Chains A and B, each alone.
Chain A
Amino acid sequence: MNRVNMATVASNYNPREIDNTADVPGRRAQLVTGNQTYSSITNMVCRVAEDPQPLLWYVLFGFSSLIAVMFLSLIGYLILNGVGIWGNMNPVFWAWPIVNFVFWVGIAHAGTLISAILFLFRQNWRTSINRASEAMTIFAVVCAGIYPGIHVGRAWLAFWLLPYPSLNLWMWPQFRSPLLWDVFAVGTYASTSLVFWYMGMIPDIATYRDRSKSPLRRMVYGLLCLGWTGSSRHWLVYEKAYTLLAALAAPLVLSVHTVVSFDFAVSQVAGWHTTIFPPYFVAGAIFSGFAMVVTLLVPSRAIYKLENLITLRHLENMNKIILATGTLVGLAYATEAYIAWYSMNQYEGFTFLNRQFGPYWWAYWTMVSCNVISPQLFWFKKLRTSLFWMVVICVFVNIGMWFERFVITVTSLSRDFLPSSWGYFRPTMYDGLMLFGSFGIFMSLYLLFCRFLPIIAMSEVKGILSIENHAAHAHDDSHGQSH
């Protein structure tokens, strides 16, 4: 066995020496650093699951699974007591549960965007980060799906959302409602992302299988990878299927947040009833999703020593996308303001001023400073390539994106057309704990994923490495010929 031991890997790694963020015109910067070979990539990735987990993993997992258990028990408490334990009250019936739902669905956008859209655009740098972000997508959708499920009040009848002639009434769902479109959009997104994620993992799970020492592990991974052999005939169909899935997932990922925005935009509440919502929501979703990916990958790559695969360049590229989408989001806020004035609609105008200077001014300005101002710092290469600053900014971005959904949902509902029915929303302890708790679910799932499944798409990285090597050979050859 030609296994690279820890020492070799560690000696290969010196992130300070390698600067693959510098672009030399005419030459492509390396995507993976440290003179990797196929087997060193395999070793580096498999080590994550094969070596005993660091103490930090146990600490984090213990903590997040506790929070997850708390969240699940709170759901039980909610089902026993009803949604009255939340602060949802006339006139704000769509409070935190919907805010959290949109927040998590938004985060779920990065994974499929990286896997599908960057794949279609032949952005090879995606290969090191797509697996982890796809996993994150799935876990974020899990968190997102919980909220509407329990917000319906009688959670045990949530299956009435499906096209099923409901008990005794023989009544079908109402297909002209955006809330039902949401069921289809999020359901399709969740299942397609799951399939996409799983299919991408099959060859890598086969690697795990082939390296397993214990027969049980070998059998479980063997079952999971469906007996994958790496046959070229299989690869051909597999690649075709992967391309098709990417081509299908790309419009899907754009449609999901579009449909989520329809929940608001199709209604007539001032501040919701705008055509800008679909693109604005999609930009915001990519923005928050990328921020979450960066927030997770920076510690993951440090803990598992994956700096040569998830290089600074990968992170920098993501930060550039965060900068672009953050600016788009800022543009959307400005457009909203402009339209509120230009439409001369008194309700739109009022809603906008109310957001900025009404009782929720603090939420609005938190949102603007986190979402519009903080990503602008990424114009500076120093900050864009500093691990510390990128995590700080990304955490702010996610805080800001949560507040964005809060501002949209709560300010519009709390002061609508009829001043006599205005109100002020106050969350309860359970609102707070159940937002916090969803992070427990998310983190537990992510940690388990790191523990048991390949967190980097090894076969894809190897494919890119092969292409890069050949391009380098070809370059050298032509170089040699011309002289």
Chain B
Amino acid sequence: MSDHKSRKSNDTKMPKAFGWMAEYADEEDLLVAARKVRDSGYTQTDAFTPFPVHGIDEALGIKPTILPFIVLCAGITGLITALLMQWWTNGVDYKYLISAKPFGITPASIPVAFELTILFSAFTSFFGMIFLNQLPRFSNPVFTNPRFDRVTDDRFFLYVNAADKYYNRESVKELLADTHPDSLDEVLDDSTPSTLPRPIVLGALLLVLAGLIPAMIVLNMRASFSNLPRWHVFFDMDFQPKKKPQQTTTIFADGRSMRPQVKGTVGRGQLTEQDPFYLGYDPSKLSADDASTTVKYVSTNANQDSASQVQASTAVQSMPAQSPPPQGAPAPTPALKLPWVDKLPESIVEASNIEANMKLGKVKFETYCSACHGYGGFGDGLVHKRADSLAQGYWTPPTSMHIERVRKQPVGQIFHTITKGQGKMASYASALNPKERWAIVLYVKALQRSRNADIEDVPVDSRSSLDNELNVEPTK
């Protein structure tokens, strides 16, 4: 600290003196001597002891340290840092929604806040101690005295620094000699170099530089572009020993990594692709029936038939639903030739269910179909009427349920129309489950029959009342 001052005041040839050092064997003697030195007015004093001697601070007049306040500030900083960090990272920068708990500072922030408070304070206590004591200090004139080695063993030293403003070489020596020290030496200039040995400095420098290399490589890689594939230090999950679809393999004789279905098993969701109840036609008859139909069914737009279908639907455009098809018009939408189911499923027409299913069909038809097809199924629903009144050319009128072609359709085909849609009509599969669709088919069939009833359909005992009420022959 004030070493330079004393250095100047002394003869340059003589080793510089830094002060006097008295040695004692007992801490009591040291305390007595220290009090004496303090009472003589010296303040640049110090004692060196193997353990903290009780009462020495008072004996030497050492002021208390401000370390606790520094640590308090560090603790508060740690607390605030922890709270801000948790609030910002989880509540602002990247919001985590955990069980709908609130963002920001919650009771869950307490553990981390507590730990960081301790962490900051503890490190500050340690580094604060180092800093306040001006450590590390590897070159210190007190070490020149060989007896000083025992300061960390069992000896007690009292030191009066030459930097003291009342310092006088002779009087200090006299004062200390009066305290009956075991030895009294002048602290002389430290002849050892105060810097670290060269090789150590160089070695450390090299180590630091070598340590920077990986960081530089990484930084360079992050800042530059490369066309080479990524360099995998760890493969993570990028490469896995597994087969993907459509790959070949040597494990199976057929060389395919995808395996055919095991006979007699039903895959997940497969039933809907195989059961006539879900389809309206019987797929098992499909392949046996006609391979070309299958093709047509799978890709309706790819061949000529579908082209004519498009033509047909354009031709019927803007045609009022109830008017008969114009003369010479191309044949309406060609019917799909699929092995249609021609009987309603048992579960729908069972005697115990049929009434309920009829009602269900009515409700669903009126909900989903009547808007276009009308309550009676004549294709005169509100949507159609409105579209018709706007007279827009692209409106395809909903087909009447009562035209010959539709009336002749097997139940499976109507089911299929609802399921897959037909021409301009969309699919209703997402709104109606298969049972509801079959119920609608049941209702549509009833509608068709009622609008095209024969006198034979009316029970014999009611026929006369019919005549009276309507006075018209029911249309055929």
Which residue of chain A lies nearest to B117 when distances are taken between CB atoms in the complex?
A: A248
**Neighbour of B122 across the interface among A156, A176, A230, A248, CB < 8 A:** A248
Quick one: given A210-B150, A244-B68, are A175 and B126 in contact (CB under 8 Å)? no
Is A235 located at the chain interface by the 8 A CB criterion? Answer: yes
Is B394 located at the chain interface by the 8 A CB criterion? Answer: no
Is B189 located at the chain interface by the 8 A CB criterion? Answer: no
The answer to whether B118 and A192 touch across the interface, beta carbons within 8 angstroms, is: yes
Is A85 located at the chain interface by the 8 A CB criterion? Answer: no
Q: Mark A146-165, 1 if CB is under 8 A from B, else 0.
A: 00000000101000000101
The answer to whether B126 and A241 touch across the interface, beta carbons within 8 angstroms, is: yes
Which residue of chain A lies nearest to B87 when distances are taken between CB atoms in the complex?
A: A175
CB of A209 to closest CB in B, whole Å: 8
Contact partners of A180 in chain B: CB under 8 A: 112
**Neighbour of B116 across the interface among A184, A198, A236, CB < 8 A:** A184
Q: Which of B51, B86, B94, B116 has the most CB of A within 10 A?
A: B51
Quick one: given A240-B65, A241-B67, are A467 and B54 in contact (CB under 8 Å)? yes
Contact partners of A251 in chain B: CB under 8 A: 114, 118
Report the bound CA distance from A255 to B116 in whole Å: 12
The answer to whether A192 and B122 touch across the interface, beta carbons within 8 angstroms, is: yes
Is A252 located at the chain interface by the 8 A CB criterion? Answer: yes
Contact partners of A227 in chain B: CB under 8 A: 135-140
**Neighbour of A211 across the interface among B138, B153, B233, CB < 8 A:** B153
Contact partners of A195 in chain B: CB under 8 A: 122-123, 126
CB of B256 to closest CB in A, whole Å: 29
CB of A225 to closest CB in B, whole Å: 9
- Contacting A at CB under 8 A, from B48-69, are 48-54, 56-57, 60, 62, 64-65, 67-68
The answer to whether B115 and A185 touch across the interface, beta carbons within 8 angstroms, is: yes
CB of A472 to closest CB in B, whole Å: 13
- Contacting B at CB under 8 A, from A286-340, are none
The answer to whether A244 and B90 touch across the interface, beta carbons within 8 angstroms, is: no
Contact partners of A145 in chain B: CB under 8 A: none
Report the bound CA distance from A262 to B112 in whole Å: 13
Is A122 located at the chain interface by the 8 A CB criterion? Answer: no
- Contacting A at CB under 8 A, from B286-337, are none
Which residue of chain B lies nearest to A262 when distances are taken between CB atoms in the complex?
A: B111
Is A174 located at the chain interface by the 8 A CB criterion? Answer: yes
Quick one: given A184-B115, A226-B137, A237-B132, are A172 and B62 in contact (CB under 8 Å)? no
Which residue of chain A lies nearest to B106 when distances are taken between CB atoms in the complex?
A: A176
The answer to whether B125 and A241 touch across the interface, beta carbons within 8 angstroms, is: yes
CB of A149 to closest CB in B, whole Å: 15
Is B109 located at the chain interface by the 8 A CB criterion? Answer: yes
The answer to whether B129 and A238 touch across the interface, beta carbons within 8 angstroms, is: yes
Is A431 located at the chain interface by the 8 A CB criterion? Answer: no
Report the bound CA distance from A284 to B139 in whole Å: 48
Report the bound CA distance from A217 to B464 in whole Å: 129
Contact partners of A156 in chain B: CB under 8 A: 233-234
Q: Mark A167-210, 1 if CB is under 8 A from B, else 0.
A: 00011111110101100110110011001101100011011011
Is B46 located at the chain interface by the 8 A CB criterion? Answer: yes
Quick one: given A174-B90, A227-B138, A466-B53, are A233 and B108 in contact (CB under 8 Å)? no
The answer to whether B50 and A176 touch across the interface, beta carbons within 8 angstroms, is: no
Is B93 located at the chain interface by the 8 A CB criterion? Answer: yes
The answer to whether B60 and A237 touch across the interface, beta carbons within 8 angstroms, is: no
Quick one: given A170-B94, A199-B126, are A232 and B111 in contact (CB under 8 Å)? no
Contact partners of A222 in chain B: CB under 8 A: 138
Is A234 located at the chain interface by the 8 A CB criterion? Answer: yes
The answer to whether B86 and A175 touch across the interface, beta carbons within 8 angstroms, is: yes
Contact partners of B140 in chain A: CB under 8 A: 227, 229
**Neighbour of B133 across the interface among A38, A191, A238, CB < 8 A:** A238
Contact partners of B71 in chain A: CB under 8 A: 244
The answer to whether A234 and B133 touch across the interface, beta carbons within 8 angstroms, is: yes
**Neighbour of A176 across the interface among B64, B98, B136, B151, CB < 8 A:** B98
Quick one: given A176-B108, A196-B122, A199-B129, are A236 and B46 in contact (CB under 8 Å)? no
Report the bound CA distance from A37 to B25 in whole Å: 11
CB of B134 to closest CB in A, whole Å: 9
Is B236 located at the chain interface by the 8 A CB criterion? Answer: yes
Is A411 located at the chain interface by the 8 A CB criterion? Answer: no
Which residue of chain A lies nearest to B52 when distances are taken between CB atoms in the complex?
A: A235
Quick one: given A238-B52, A238-B129, are A229 and B151 in contact (CB under 8 Å)? yes
- Contacting A at CB under 8 A, from B4-44, are 27
Is B160 located at the chain interface by the 8 A CB criterion? Answer: no
Quick one: given A184-B116, A191-B119, A232-B60, are A154 and B234 in contact (CB under 8 Å)? yes
Q: Of the 9-residue stretches A6-14, A134-142, A440-448, A457-465, which lies at the interface with chain B? A: A457-465
The answer to whether B133 and A233 touch across the interface, beta carbons within 8 angstroms, is: yes
The answer to whether B116 and A188 touch across the interface, beta carbons within 8 angstroms, is: yes
The answer to whether B123 and A236 touch across the interface, beta carbons within 8 angstroms, is: no
The answer to whether A237 and B67 touch across the interface, beta carbons within 8 angstroms, is: yes
Contact partners of B130 in chain A: CB under 8 A: 226
Quick one: given A210-B152, A237-B67, A239-B52, are A232 and B119 in contact (CB under 8 Å)? no
CB of A249 to closest CB in B, whole Å: 7
The answer to whether A248 and B118 touch across the interface, beta carbons within 8 angstroms, is: yes
Report the bound CA distance from A173 to B96 in whole Å: 10
Is B149 located at the chain interface by the 8 A CB criterion? Answer: yes
The answer to whether A172 and B115 touch across the interface, beta carbons within 8 angstroms, is: no
**Neighbour of B52 across the interface among A204, A248, A463, CB < 8 A:** A463
Contact partners of A223 in chain B: CB under 8 A: 136, 138
CB of A345 to closest CB in B, whole Å: 21
Report the bound CA distance from A245 to B120 in whole Å: 11
Report the bound CA distance from A174 to B153 in whole Å: 52
Is A417 located at the chain interface by the 8 A CB criterion? Answer: no
Is A39 located at the chain interface by the 8 A CB criterion? Answer: yes
A-B contacts, 24 listed (Cβ < 8 Å): A154-B234, A175-B109, A180-B112, A184-B116, A188-B119, A192-B123, A195-B126, A207-B152, A207-B153, A227-B135, A229-B140, A229-B151, A236-B65, A239-B52, A240-B65, A240-B67, A241-B67, A241-B128, A245-B122, A248-B121, A459-B52, A459-B152, A462-B51, A466-B51
In the complex, given contacts A228-B152, A234-B133, A245-B126, what are 4 additional A-B residue pairs having Cβ atoms less than 8 angstroms apart?
A206-B152, A227-B140, A237-B129, A248-B122
Q: Which residues of A contact B (CB under 8 A)?
A: 2, 37-39, 42, 154, 156, 163, 165, 170-176, 178, 180-181, 184-185, 187-188, 191-192, 195-196, 198-199, 203-204, 206-207, 209-211, 222-223, 226-241, 244-245, 248-249, 251-252, 255, 259, 262, 458-460, 462-463, 466-467
Query: Lowest 10 CB-CB distances: which A-B pairs, in order?
Result: A38-B154, A226-B136, A172-B89, A241-B129, A181-B111, A207-B152, A39-B154, A463-B51, A210-B149, A235-B52
